[in-house]
Amino acid sequence: MKKKKFFKIIAVNVLVASQLLLAACGNNSEKAGSDSKEYSSDSKLEVSWTAMLHTPSPPTDVVLNKIEEATNADINFNWVPDASKEERITAALASGELSDIVSLTMLTNSSVRQSLKSGMFWEVEKYLDDYDNLKQISEEIRSAASIDGKLYGVPFQKDLARSGLLLRKDWLDNLGLKVPTTLDELYEVARAFTEDDPDGNGKDDTVGFGDRNELRYGSFKTLSSYFGTPNGWAVDENGTFTHEVETQAYKDTMNYSRKLYENGYLDKDFAVTAKNDQMDKFAQGKTGIFTGLVGVTGLLNLAEGIQEEMEIVPVNKIKGPDGKHHIWSENSGVGGLLAFPKTEVESEAELKRILQFINDLIDEEVFMLMTGGIEGTHYEIDENGAFQIIDNELWQKDVQPFSSSRPSEITHSLIDANPAKQQVNELIEENAEFAVLDPTVPLDSQTASERGTELEKIIIDATIKYIMGEIDEKGFDAEVEKWKKSGGDAMAQEFEEAYKKAQK
């Protein structure tokens, strides 16, 4: 039997580079006897899994034991904090020291794409239709998750577009404001939340927009959608690609954000604020606008005992200058890949057994374990068939960390007893009607694969500096020219070639 390559739960504070080196010491010895291992669909699986952790601490074993029982598996999680995933995953890919399953959630990351194209991971397309749940993965999602037409893992299935805004409804009510429907109205809410004492405590201690140190999942990407900015790239009828930074809508978004920042309506510390800190500020009543619809449950949980009066209203429709609704789609409904390194999964028989395990994770029983936990302990279904968490604190400890590792968030649906969460679910479904796709998701560019992350940093840094007033438009344009000459133009050309080839 294979030795365990990772501890059952690895504490976040000891998940450092030295752990990878320790894993390396054990890999060679344990593989010596694995060639003779027999795998069948009903054999007990011992599997290690590098997964992303979006919570402060890893989960307890309470729900893990139930998941193992339901999937006939012994699962050894290697939890990687989401905030440090780029550094940790890049290091692991470079060293080649990986687990049986690796959650690769950064498909645009150049190191990840290079590793996938290098043949490091199994191609799985031909196997998916052999499993009752995996065969339901749509052709659109398979295509979007592929690189050069090859699928190097099981796609995480997500909703097409999950972004939007969460606003303090109680603050709106206190100030006599309505839910904003335009960019001008949203700006006025940000101003009022900052200047008009929305919590009524007589202190100047609130800010409109909370934000964090990234453009994609902070406020900027969503605001740029409202302005009509392309989602990464735009392609015209001639197959010509234009990057979002070369559009006026992108600059309009920067000017809007800069005005928010200059007037103090956008958190002055956004450039050095991590996601968890952004959530804490909202939960503590320091900010009143949060970007990301799916954060509603986490924010309400954090606010318990601190902001008991908190009410949140989710917003998904803000009209742009063209009078229409737009929202960016995150990787066309693909949240990444569950990938299987050939160094760890050494035979087709082992791969098939692991694919059976992934398939089993999509079963409703396991989906509910990873979503709600144990019925009667963590959640209940009320007389109206609505889902409700019984003990938030217990749920956060035992269950919440597993939710981001569900292979599919769209196969099963729940009616949430929490009106705000149910409304979020409905708005996310509605977002699909006006979602803006990134046309490069299924395409490949050698420059993007090799240096995409490095080139993206030029744009990110320039945009943040512009918002903060550290450079002017001329300075930003100079950085865009630097980006173009350093590889931006090459990426556009390569995407055009890949696009035209795909159209044939």
CATH topology agreement for domains 12-161+333-363 and 162-328+426-504: yes
List the chain domain ranges.
12-161+333-363, 162-328+426-504
Output the tens digit of pLDDT for each of the chain's 504 residues. Answer: 443 333 333 333 333 333 433 343 344 334 434 444 678 878 999 999 999 999 999 999 999 999 999 999 999 999 999 989 989 999 999 999 999 999 999 887 888 988 998 999 999 999 999 999 999 999 989 988 998 889 999 999 999 999 999 999 999 999 999 999 999 999 999 999 999 999 999 999 999 999 999 999 999 999 999 999 999 999 999 999 999 999 999 999 999 999 999 999 999 999 999 999 999 999 999 999 999 999 998 899 899 999 999 999 999 999 999 999 999 998 788 999 999 999 999 999 999 999 999 999 999 999 999 999 999 999 999 998 999 999 989 999 999 999 999 999 999 989 999 888 899 999 999 999 999 999 998 888 989 988 988 999 999 999 999 999 999 999 999 999 999 999 999 999 999 999 998 777
Architecture of the domain delimited by 12-161+333-363: 3-Layer(aba) Sandwich (3.40)
- Pull the structure tokens for residue 475: 């300075």
Classify residue 360 by burial, with Cβ atoms within 10 Å: 0-12, 13-18, 19+.
buried
DSSP state of 305: T
Give the separation between CA 309 and CA 327, rounded to whole angstroms. Answer: 30
Alpha carbon 19 to its chain centroid, in Å, reads 25
Please give the model's pTM, rounded to 2 decimal places.
Answer: 0.74
Give the separation between CA 332 and CA 157, rounded to whole angstroms. Answer: 10
CATH pick for 162-328+426-504 out of 2.30.30.100, 3.40.50.620, 3.40.190.10, 3.90.1150.10: 3.40.190.10
- Pull the structure tokens for residue 390: 């019984």
Pseudo-torsion of CA 392, 395, 400, 402, nearest 10°? -170
